[in-house]
Structure 1
Amino acid sequence: MQDKATKDPIPFKGLIDPELLSRLMQLFLSGVLFILGGILSALLLMSTWNLISLVFVAHELSGAEILGSIVTWFLYFEFLALIAKYYQSGLHFPLRYFIYIGITAIIRLIILYHDDPMHTLIFSISILVLVVALYLANTKLLKRE
């Protein structure tokens, strides 16, 4: 009779093939990313429509709000590009695309919330850190493609 301390630490070992489990998880991930891509595409189209309508009612909004809408449009676009690049890169997310999205998101924060100089300085330093990370990610040591 086996002692609890000597039991196999992996429950259900042998019931499912790890390769099959990996393929099932990849299929699930692909399905979720496909749905997310559809949602982001719809949001991108809605954002495009809003930007077109802003041309006609721009006098009601500040320049910062219009720029914020434009940068939000770019964020949707970058997330869609990230999903497309995931499939083109052999089912992995390139690090630099996350950095691009981070930089764009922080720029959006600076545009919309520029009232506090300390926050603007912190956001700017964050962008500098991300640019340095982007430089490092594009060196030959870290580049996968």
Structure 2
Amino acid sequence: MKMDSKFSYVPQFLQWVLNVLLTLLALVLSVFLVRETYTIYQLFFTSDGPPPIELLESILNFFLYFEFIALIIKYFEARFHFPLRYLIYIGITAIVRLIIVDHKNPMDTILYSGAILIMVVTLFIADPRKKSGG
């Protein structure tokens, strides 16, 4: 028993370190989010119009930053727990971005689409809000 009480501060200290680092990460991601917003603004108001692929890539990057910041917020709201569905949302957005940016190989695109389908099915299965039959 003495050993347990001797090191009881370790998880609390590590939790504190994690919270501080996640807060710093959220601040850095916020800076990147503002930078991406400025990039989207520049793409929209160029004289020859925005290149569609670059604009779409910037918008998806914006949503990735936004989702990571939302995930960190949910982590603190859920009392230091990452909800699974937010991680899946981020994965889906990242794969959609990958399909848009790198769509030269049709087989890769089909595999990426299959991965999105698996994640959507996982969301459906793991949804705690769905009603149980009965």
Query: TM-score range, shorter-chain basis?
Result: 0.7 to 0.9
- The yes-or-no answer on 1:76 pairing with 2:59 is no
Corresponding residue for 1:48? Answer: 37
2:70 aligned partner, one-letter code: A
How far the C-alpha of 1:90 sits from its partner, in A, is: 1.3
Task: Give runs of aligned pairs for residues 73-112 of structure 1, distance below 5 A.
Answer: 73-112=62-101
Out of 102, 111, 128, which is 1:113 matched to? 102
Distance 2:77 2:83 in 1: 10
Letter aligned with residue 136 of structure 1: I
Alignment partner of 1:63 is 2:63: no
Q: Which piece of structure 1 moves more, 93-102 or 132-141?
A: 132-141
CA distance in 2, matches of 1:58, 1:89: 46
| Normalised TM-score (structure 1) | 0.81
Which residue of structure 2 lines up, in the alignment, with residue 128 of structure 1? 117
Deviation (angstroms), 1:16: 6.4
Deviations 1:8-63 (A, max 9, x none): xxxxx838634311110100000100110010000000001111111112747531
Q: Which residue of 1 aligns with 2:17?
A: 28
TM-score w.r.t. length of structure 2:
0.88
Gaps of 5+ in 2: none
Count of residues in Structure 1 that have an aligned counterpart in Structure 2: 129
- Counterparts of 1:113 and 1:101, CA distance in 2: 18
Q: Does residue 37 of the first structure (1) align with residue 26 of the second (2)?
A: yes
CA apart distance, 1:137: 1.6
What value does the CA root-mean-square deviation take over the aligned residues? 2.0
Q: Distance in 1 between matches of 2:121 and 2:128?
A: 11
Q: CA deviation at 1:134?
A: 1.0
Amino acid at match of 1:89: A
Q: In structure 2, do the counterparts of structure 1 residues 71 and 58 end up closer, same or farther at CA, with 3 Å as the change threshold? A: farther
Q: Output the amino acid matched with 1:114.
A: H
Q: Secondary structure at the match of 2:104?
A: coil
Cα pair 2:44 2:50 within 8 Å, conserved = no
